[in-house]
Amino acid sequence: MAGKTAIIASNGTLFDAYKVYNIATAAAASDHEVAIFFTFEGLNLINKEAYGQLPLPEGKEQIAEGFAKGNVPAIPELVEMAQELNVKFIGCQMTMDLFGLEKEAFVDGIDVGGAVTFLEFAKDADVTLTF
Amino acid sequence: MIQTDKLLDAKGLACPMPIVRTKKAMNEMEPGQVIEVQATDKGSLADLKAWAKSSGNQYLGSSEEGDVLKHYLRKADQSEEKEEIRFPHTVTNAELKQELNREDVIVLDVREPAEYAFGHIEGAVSIPLGELEKRSGELDAEKEVIVICRTGNRSDFAAKQLADKGFTRVKNAVEGMTQWDGATEQNNA
């Protein structure tokens, strides 16, 4: 492994999803060990019901056209790619409880853990990012 | 048209997909093989260079054809880093420069065609190491042959091969193209 990248995803719009998954897949493709900790609205990015239809940030709806033209991959496609590249997904237990969500609501293959689970991974990471 | 071992079509894909696809494609390649990556994402130029550097693979160069960027990369070959240099007759690049204009000297470049295309010594003959076995007949055994590659390792193999085939005046340019500071020419169209 060439390095280690730790990401916190705490927001739930389409923009946030691209920021998180683009960096995550690029890091994984560069041989980084990558983990994403999904918390609060960030849980939308792995929520089976939500992740295929994430909203644009308020006032940015006109960007939808740009996404269509830009040939950017759909979020579920990026999620699949990230998992194929062994990016580790960690759902935040505390916010899942808060929102009344079970592990089954999310894409397959996620771990569920608390803040310490993420901190254990992040303590010796080369890159740590928050979105 | 540069000869490569694999072609990856990443046209129409946005960041980071060209990198992700390149990574996947290179996982299936043998060390030392060369891939051509075709992309329309303008960011792929800077990204692939950076990716090659961090992943230890070799970025050879890029060319542009209309909207399409063609990038050439060579998969890292660990054995090249470790291999001892054993062929006894060697020249430095400074010595090689002195020999360049002599009639009875052939400079033989044994790197892959894509590496050759993005910068080689003027007048150098291109025969990749893997093809030398069957193509050595193209060279005049009466002449002095100075073999060069990227870092002096493939050229070491090549020099030994040529000596075995009866070439009597063979030398390995041990410093390789990475340390070459003289003029080069390209033909990457």
Spatial separation of the C-alpha atoms in residues B96 and B139, rounded to whole Å: 18
Give catalytic status of residue B149 as yes or no. no
CA distances from B107 to A100, B2, B132, B136, B186 (A): 72, 20, 14, 13, 16
Domains annotated on chain A, with CATH = 3-130 (3.40.1260.10)
Which residues in chain A have Cβ-Cβ distances shorter than 8 Å to B51?
Answer: 29-30
Report the relative pairing of strands B144-148 and A32-38 from DSSP bridges. unpaired
Inform me whether the pLDDT recorded for A70 exceeds 80. Answer: no
CA distance B184 to chain A (A): 31
Query: Which of A2, A3, A25 lies nearest to residue B20, judging by beta carbons?
Result: A25
What pLDDT, in 10s, does the model give residues A51-61?
Answer: 999 999 888 88
The complex's ipTM? 0.73
Residue B35: band (very low, low, confident or very high) from pLDDT cuts 50, 70, 90:
very high
Element housing A31 (H / E): none
Q: CATH number for the B80-179 domain, one of 3.40.1390.30, 3.40.50.1000, 3.40.1350.10, 3.40.250.10? A: 3.40.250.10
- Inter-chain touch B23–A30, beta carbons under 8 Å: yes
Report the relative pairing of strands B34-39 and B68-74 from DSSP bridges. antiparallel
- Judged by a CB distance cut-off of 8 A, whether residue B68 touches chain A is no
CA distances from B9 to B18, B38, B49 (A): 9, 5, 18
Specify the pLDDT at position B189. 63
Spatial separation of the C-alpha atoms in residues B42 and B173, rounded to whole Å: 37
Residue A68: band (very low, low, confident or very high) from pLDDT cuts 50, 70, 90:
confident
Structure tokens at B29: 């390649």
Q: Topology of domain B6-76, per CATH?
A: Translation Initiation Factor IF3 (3.30.110)
Q: Which residues contact B41 (CB under 8 A, 6 or more apart)?
A: B10, B13, B14, B15, B17, B18, B69
CA distance A25 to chain B (A): 7
What pLDDT, in 10s, does the model give residues A8-65?
Answer: 999 999 999 999 999 999 999 999 999 999 999 999 999 999 999 999 988 888 888 8
Spatial separation of the C-alpha atoms in residues A119 and A21, rounded to whole Å: 20
Residue B34, strand partner residues: B74
Specify the pLDDT at position B82. 61
Query: Which of B14, B17, B55 lies nearest to residue A2, judging by beta carbons?
Result: B55
Is this structure's pTM higher than 0.80?
no
Domains B6-76 and B80-179 agree in fold? no
Spatial separation of the C-alpha atoms in residues A31 and A8, rounded to whole Å: 19
Inform me whether the pLDDT recorded for B81 exceeds 80. Answer: no
Specify the pLDDT at position B163. 93
What pLDDT, in 10s, does the model give residues A72-120?
Answer: 889 999 999 999 999 999 999 999 999 999 999 999 999 999 988 899 8
Catalytic residue among B7, B15, B20, B50: B15
Domain boundaries, chain B: 6-76, 80-179
Query: Which of A28, A31, A73 lies nearest to residue B17, judging by beta carbons?
Result: A73
